[in-house]
Amino acid sequence: MTNPRMPENVPDFVTEHLQRYLDSNGEDGHEWSSAGMGDHGDCPALLLTTIGRRSGQPIITPLIYGEAGGAYVVIASKGGAPTHPHWYLNLDANPEVDVQIRTERFKARARTAAGAERAELWDLMLIIYPTYTELQGRTAREIPVVVLEKE
């Protein structure tokens, strides 16, 4: 995927973080400052590039992540909104994604965790970013837990 665009209608702190990550080629931005995200310190961040399900164009999004069993885990919280984030809908339509962690870039396949796996990974992500509990409380939808497996 080449020349991804930034997502639309995201808070300024997300856009600023993404720009910093891109401008430094991953040297700055892996640790996402908690500014705008609560009081939980810095969180590890990756860049996820999906293909827009309507536009067919690559879209890049910074996300907090964790690691489990050689894969990476992200949460489709959208701040506890009643609908899934666009990046999740995009990967649901096309699970082939690009990922950047620090300066490393790789292709991955995304899938939504379910059942016991979801519960285990959700608990892992709560250690990294406890605010996910609050965000789940804001919405009736079950917030998806996404596993990114390197190809």
pLDDT digit string, tens, across residues 13-30: 788 888 888 888 888 878
pLDDT, one tens digit per residue, over 120-135 is 999 999 999 999 999 9
Q: Point out the least confidently predicted range of 5-19, 54-68, 78-92.
A: 5-19
> Quick check: 138 and 128 in contact, CB under 8 A?
no
109: phi then psi, degrees, rounded to nearest 5 = -115, 130
Query: Structure pTM?
Result: 0.89
Give the whole-angstrom CA distance, residue 52 versus residue 92.
Answer: 10
Cα 25 to chain center, whole Å?
18
